[in-house]
Structure 1
Amino acid sequence: MNIFPEGTMLHGNIPYQYDTLKKHLLDIYLPPNATGKVPLVIWVHGGGWLSNDKYADMSYMKETIAEIMRKGYALASIDYRFSTQATFPAQMLDCNSAVSYLYENASKFGFDTDRFALMGFSAGGHLAAMLGLSKNQDVKEFFMPGTSKKFAFKAVVDFYGPADLTLFPGAVDAKSPEGLLIGAAPLNRPDLAKVASPVSYVDEKDPPFLIIHGEKDDMVSPNQSHLLNSWLKVKGVPTELIVVKGAPHFGAMFDAPEIRTAIFSFLEKHLK
């Protein structure tokens, strides 16, 4: 909590599927002195789909976190099952269930259900992109039975997320992070890789994207973000790609003032 402004209210470890699984928890941070319904940023952590938790990525994004609160947004950070616990689409089932919970309990926490945005990092960027892009296609395999599908996303901020699983150097290896995600080497099972790749779901009805990637990323190639950005452009979806000069896969370079300016300009434009 020390990275959040004084007065931030935390509702921690909420079981969004009403079960006891530790990976089915989310945290809600409400901005100080909130009045009326507030927009919501849904934070999806990274970690190769097999590590970290709902606090991950916050440590190097401290100023962005604080600014989210100062701007009067709520923040919800969600956990999801690792690929070592359950293969794809388990992660989509979990994330969509978490968003369904946030939608159904919006009045309790003061969220404006017309102003939901996604922000994800690495594997979380992949999941945020998947959530934003697939929502309008009503993919039944991505939703738990009985959960609400009424929600929609107005904006997606994708930090260096994979866009096409077949483009990884490790796509020939079933033990690579992307292989573990789908349960097979992506190049051996391009059908499974396609279902788990954001580029497969791009269409004209998708929400606007802001994509941010490090120039020197040696874990997820910047080409992944270039590809997604280009597909969005081809389909006429508002999109912007920022390649951060000299930046690696993650770190404080993504919390720079010019990046924050771009993020909040984007959010304020699309969450009016």
Structure 2
Amino acid sequence: MKKASLFLFAFLLFRIGYSQTNPMMKLFPEGTKLHGNIPYMQDTLKKHLLDIYLPPNAKGNVPLVIWVHGGGWLSNDKYADMGYMKETIAEIINQGYALASIDYRFSTQATFPAQMLDCNASISYLYDNASKYGFDTDRFALMGFSAGGHLASMLGLTNNQKVNEFFVPGTSKDFQFKAVVDFYGPADLTLFPGAIDAKSPEGLLIGAAPLDRPDLAKMASPVSFVDEKDPPFLIIHGEKDDLVSPRQSHLLNAWLKVKGVPTDMIVVPGAPHFGSMFDAPEIRERVFAFLKEHLK
């Protein structure tokens, strides 16, 4: 009993310490409602938090865009990528979508599939609590950047297969995705120049050099899970990306086409791995036309 009381006290302190502290709120339209630092695993791990942003004056249940941050699977947090995508996140709210940004454990804390366990657990929480926040569970979309693009693709592509290793036991598997927006995410871990190096970001992710453990690399590569039941994809990649080759996105796009999955790819002329070039009006127009078509 005493131990339970101490745990409850620690948990409350955790909630107070982290509640509603959000450096990105200034980027969102006035009236956006924040539910910040929600512990989706009901524990005190900082990497098991998510933020929910709701459009002001929402009527009825709204579609949800799930934001998955980048950082090589070993850095950044749920606020990452928002700073250079200011107009996009504002437009998500202005278009009447909710946005949920999730954290997940770094590869330096736990190797793959820990990141998939965390992401799926966070989405299970959003699905199970949809009525509380006003989400339409039939209109979930994923949007990820770099390593987050990889995870968003993995989530979207494995969803219909319900891979047990990617789910925390006892969490919901009932959710589905209507669309995936993948910004320059890796598609095949063996294609990286660092695939021979266990200390490369992709090596740290799986705990071995991908070319030494192609079995682990295959399990962590989106192209391994493409089938005809996958949701539609919009893939966006910079022409001059020197961290994740555009060939990664070309490969994923080609596999989706082979399987008959609706897919479109945008190569941004002159663009590097990330930055405000991906927030340009012509890119936003394509992104929101895609979301409108599949979340209608």
Band of TM-score, shorter chain: over 0.9
Match of 1:245? 269
SS of the counterpart of 2:27?
coil
User: Residue 26 of structure 2: SS of its match in structure 1?
Assistant: coil
State the TM-score, normalizing by the size of structure 1: 1.00
Name 1:86's counterpart in structure 2. 110
Instruction: Report the counterpart of residue 118 of structure 1 in structure 2.
Output: 142
Match of 1:264 in 2: 288
Amino acid at match of 1:18: Q
CA shift, 1:255, in A, is 0.1
Partner amino acid for 2:218? Answer: K
Deviation at 1:3, TM superposition (A): 0.6
Instruction: Tell me the equivalent position of 1:189.
Output: 213
What is aligned with 1:152? 176
Distance 1:250 1:229 in 2: 19
Shift in Å, 1:28: 0.1
C-alpha displacement of 1:32: 1.1
Question: Identity of aligned pairs, percent?
Answer: 85
RMSD over equivalenced CA pairs, Å: 0.3
Write out per-residue CA displacement over residues 110-136 of structure 1, whole angstroms, 9 at most, x where no aligned residue. 000000000000000000000000011
**Structure 1 position 9 matched with structure 2 position 9:** no
Q: 2:190 aligns with which of 155, 166, 189?
A: 166
User: C-alpha distance in 2, partners of 1:252/1:33?
Assistant: 29
Unaligned runs of 5+ in 2: 1-24
Separation in structure 1 between the aligned mates of residue 101 and residue 191 of structure 2, nearest angstrom: 28
Amino acid at match of 1:166: T
What letter matches 2:179 in structure 1? A
- Separation (CA, whole Å) in 2 of partners of 1:34 and 1:101: 21
Matches within 5 A, 1:202-221: 202-221=226-245
Task: Give, in whole Å, the separation in 2 of the partners of 1:33 and 1:144.
Answer: 35
1:159 deviates by 0.1
Compute the TM-score of the two structures, normalised by the length of structure 2.
0.92
Q: Which residue of 2 aligns with 1:45?
A: 69
Tell me the amino acid that sits aligned with residue 177 of structure 1: P
Which is bigger in relative contact order (C-alpha 8 A, separation at least 6)?
1
CA distance in 1 between counterparts of 2:71 and 2:237 reads 16
The 3-state SS of whatever aligns with 1:2 is: helix
Q: Counterpart of 1:60?
A: 84
CA deviation digits over 1:159-209, x for unaligned, max 9? 000000000000000000000000000000000000000000000000000
Give the match for residue 24 of structure 1.
48
Q: Give 1:33 deviation, angstroms.
A: 1.1
1:232: which partner in 2? 256
Q: 2:103, 2:28 → 1: CA distance? A: 19
Deviation string 1:199-238 (CA, Å, 9 cap, x unpaired) is 0000000000000000000000000000000000000000
Runs of 4+ in structure 1 over 3 Å off: none
Stretches of structure 1 that go unaligned for 5 or more consecutive residues are none
User: Quick one: distance in 1 between partners of 2:145 and 2:86?
Assistant: 14
> How far, CA to CA, are the matches of 2:284 and 2:159 in structure 1?
27
SS of equivalent residue, structure 1 residue 42 = strand
| Per-residue CA distance 1:132-172 (angstroms, 9 max, x = gap) | 00011110000000000010000000000000000000000
Encode CA deviations 1:55-100: one digit per residue, 9 max, x unaligned.
0000000000000000000000000000000000000000000000
Q: State the number of aligned residues.
A: 272
Q: Distance in 2 between matches of 1:12 and 1:137?
A: 31
For residue 246 of structure 2, the aligned residue among 203, 222, 244 is 222
1:135 & 1:205 partners in 2: Cα distance? 9
Q: Which has the larger radius of gyration?
A: 2
